[in-house]
Structure 1
Amino acid sequence: MLTSLRSACLSTRCYSTLVNPQSATTEALAYVSHSTDPWFNLAFEDWLFRTSSKPSHVLYLYRNSPSVIIGRNQNPWKEMDLKTLTMLGIPFVRRRSGGGTVFHDLGNTNYSVMMPQSVFNRRDNAQLVASALNQLRVPATVNERNDIVVDGYKVSGSAFKLTSSRAYHHGTMLLDSNIKTLSQALKNTNHSMITKGVASVRSPVKNIVEWQSSITHDTFVDAVIKRFEEHHKVDKKIVVSDIDESVLKEKDGDQIRKLRDELQEWSWHYGQTPEFTVTFSTSIEGADVNAEITSKQGKIIKMDVSGLSEELTGQFIDKKYGFVQASDIQTRSQKEKSVVEWLIECM
């Protein structure tokens, strides 16, 4: 695998084929992905977390092609502009951890630190990454929310996941991301939506290159690995496994592929959405029309629309929110058809 990559030990890193996190003899491992597929990278992270040995500390670094990543308990219709994303050809992915929505592109590098749950400390992990930036002459600090900031600007958002024995803390690092596209992707004007999901906390952001223009993905990756190695004070150099999608052809490839496919299933992608209620208003043929729609697990469970009969609105029940087609609904008049088309457009 990755035969074009270096295989010799360097002064600070060792390159190798995939080291199985379950059978590794060392308690500190690092993995660097050369894939930019968000579905693969998040699935590989999940596989690492599930299979790494209980006492091990694991570092995983990767970056994705343009995509929006939401927390497991978030509402995609609330957190982003889905129509703009579709127009731009940018997918969204629901990750396994909680936390808020973030934008990924090749100017953003992602880090994930896994460890025993008994020693998990979110601030310590953020501080490890911030100190790597300090070594690159970036005055990064960790604020009270455990976000990494520089001069008051957020450069890294993070989230975490805990189980009975393991934990991980992962986050973004805005090195040279497209801030304009980030703003477009995360803009949402649907203020009438009331959701039980976790809302993102918006903060002013900047790229690291605003402070150090020479920093790249590779220099950041090397700096974080170095700090990870220093933090664990290991006698031998940490083995760094460079991986890409070719691991899908290896022994554990089926497990990783299964996790990747699960992320794309409608039941997870949309069906994980917590219950929400949204209201819309318009005027059709001179009459005011007000609608209230409630959705749970991505499906419509209740709908009240002024001017439409319960029989007609009942046709929407149990259908996937945002995926209803005009052909799915039988109307009896032009006005009903106009109202249905409006409702579909609103969703």
Structure 2
Amino acid sequence: MYLIEPVRNGRYIYDGAVALAIQVHVLNKLNLDEDIIFPYCCKPKVQIGLFQNAEKEINHDYMKANDITLVRRDTGGGTVFLDEGAVNICLIMSGDNNIYGNFKKFYEPAVTILKDLGVAKVEQTGRNDLVVDGKKVSGAAMTLVNGKIYGGYTLLLDVNYEAMVNVLTPNRKKIESKGIDSVRSRVTSLREYLNEEYRNLSVVDFKDLYLCRLFDCNRIEDIKRYELTEVDWCEIDHLLREKYQNWDWNYGKSPRYNYNRDARLGIGTVEFNLEVEAGRITKAKIYGDFFGKGNVSDIEERLIGVRVREEDLLEVLESIDLAHYFGKVEARELVELILS
């Protein structure tokens, strides 16, 4: 098995979009003679499924305030929040084995290693989880791509319960009514279960220790690895530009949906009714009890085709004499209302 890590010019990269681009490049373009493991740690990110609506799944105010990145993956499934407290393990394996669909076997090495590190009660349960004392410490997924098993799991060394609750759009959260206490009852961190000698490890040191146990060696440097070349990085950079760091991919692939926002501003009540497709406004209606001289249909027309993101909306509204249509109001007030 080859080890591949997100290292470029000697520097470890903690960007979750880069990690995803590397996985996809390796899966589609590299044909090594053995299985591949790609472990990574990343800054906070929300990863949504291929068919999910980014606008409806995510609490964007919370994401922005907490510097959380959004990335859309190429496969289906639901929303996943990852941050610096997790070790993420991606595996690309030959499809000619009996692992595909067998999560118990998929998890066997992880269970063995975690028990050896002190997590005595860890077990695989349900369809694709690892639990300790009935609380989830890992979730797994796998799919078949071009005859290869593409899968992985996350090991929760530390858990940010607040972010797990707040990063999802409130009316879509399965556990909204119970909040953080509910998350604490369902999810836990591995750290508190580790043997004393391992409890103060950083997430990177824990990753390295885990890999050394997996490869049965004493030093991370002793593991056989594939170093990404400049040719590889050129293709990875292309994927980042075209997809994983591209607004049109992350937001623009959202399906058609209706968008209603209203609030009481200094000028009176303002309501925006928008239809959005591929992240862009296709229809717009503005209602309210404000006093203006102009017909807001002019603004409605100007909004058609605009991407539903702060910069684009500000650019359009700041170019309009809003006082003529609404009274004294700033473009930023209207944008904040639309994106609220």
C-alpha deviation, 1:221, in angstroms: 4.4
| Equivalent residue, structure 1, for 2:59 | 81
**In structure 2, what is the Cα distance between the partners aligned to 1:337 and 1:294?**
26
Against the structure 1 CA distance between its residues 333 and 341, is the aligned structure 2 distance closer, same or farther, given a 3 Å change threshold? farther
Q: Deviations over 1:222-254 (max 9, x none)?
A: 43564478xxxxxxxx953275xxx46x34331
| Equivalent residue, structure 2, for 1:99 | 77
Task: Tell me, yes or no, if structure 1 residue 174 matches structure 2 residue 156.
Answer: yes
Against the structure 1 CA distance between its residues 293 and 135, is the aligned structure 2 distance closer, same or farther, given a 3 Å change threshold? farther
| Equivalent residue, structure 2, for 1:141 | 123
Match of residue 315, structure 1, among 277, 302, 317: 302
**In structure 2, what is the Cα distance between the partners aligned to 1:301 and 1:127?**
50
Against the structure 1 CA distance between its residues 340 and 261, is the aligned structure 2 distance closer, same or farther, given a 3 Å change threshold? closer
Q: Deviations over 1:4-48 (max 9, x none)?
A: xxxxxxxxxxxxxxxxxxxxxxxx323244432323222211121
| Equivalent residue, structure 1, for 2:291 | none
**In structure 1, what is the Cα distance between the partners aligned to 2:71 and 2:40?**
15
TM-score (norm 2): 0.73
| Equivalent residue, structure 2, for 1:31 | 4
Question: Aligned letter for 1:305?
Answer: I
Question: Aligned letter for 1:31?
Answer: I
**In structure 2, what is the Cα distance between the partners aligned to 1:111 and 1:145?**
18
Q: Deviations over 1:53-80 (max 9, x none)?
A: 3874221111112333333333333333
**What is the total number of aligned residue pairs between the two structures?**
299
Q: Which deviates more from structure 2 when the two are superposed, residues 327-336 or residues 86-95?
A: 327-336
Question: Aligned letter for 1:48?
Answer: V
| Equivalent residue, structure 2, for 1:257 | 237
| Equivalent residue, structure 1, for 2:318 | 327
Instruction: Indicate the structure whose relative CO is greater, using CA pairs within 8 Å and at least 6 residues apart.
Output: 1
| Equivalent residue, structure 1, for 2:36 | 58
Question: Aligned letter for 1:143?
Answer: T
**In structure 2, what is the Cα distance between the partners aligned to 1:132 and 1:182?**
26
- Alpha carbons 1:58, 1:114 under 8 Å: kept: yes
Compute the RMSD of aligned alpha carbons: 3.5
**In structure 2, what is the Cα distance between the partners aligned to 1:240 and 1:160?**
24
**In structure 1, what is the Cα distance between the partners aligned to 2:76 and 2:102?**
13
Matches within 5 A, 1:187-336: 187-189=168-170, 204-212=186-194, 214-215=198-199, 216=201, 217=203, 218-223=205-210, 226-227=213-214, 239-241=223-225, 247=228, 250-262=230-242, 263-283=244-264, 289-307=270-288, 309-323=296-310, 324-325=313-314, 326-329=317-320, 331=322, 333=324, 335=326
Question: Aligned letter for 2:249?
Answer: W
Q: Which deviates more from structure 2 when the two are superposed, residues 207-216 or residues 287-296?
A: 287-296
> 5+ residue gaps in structure 2?
7-11, 173-181, 217-221, 289-294
Against the structure 1 CA distance between its residues 251 and 315, is the aligned structure 2 distance closer, same or farther, given a 3 Å change threshold? closer
C-alpha deviation, 1:115, in angstroms: 2.0
| Equivalent residue, structure 2, for 1:18 | none
| Equivalent residue, structure 1, for 2:175 | none
C-alpha deviation, 1:99, in angstroms: 2.7
| Equivalent residue, structure 1, for 2:176 | none
- Alpha carbons 2:267, 2:327 under 8 Å: kept: no
Question: Aligned letter for 1:240?
Answer: K
User: Among the aligned pairs, what percent are the same residue?
Assistant: 25
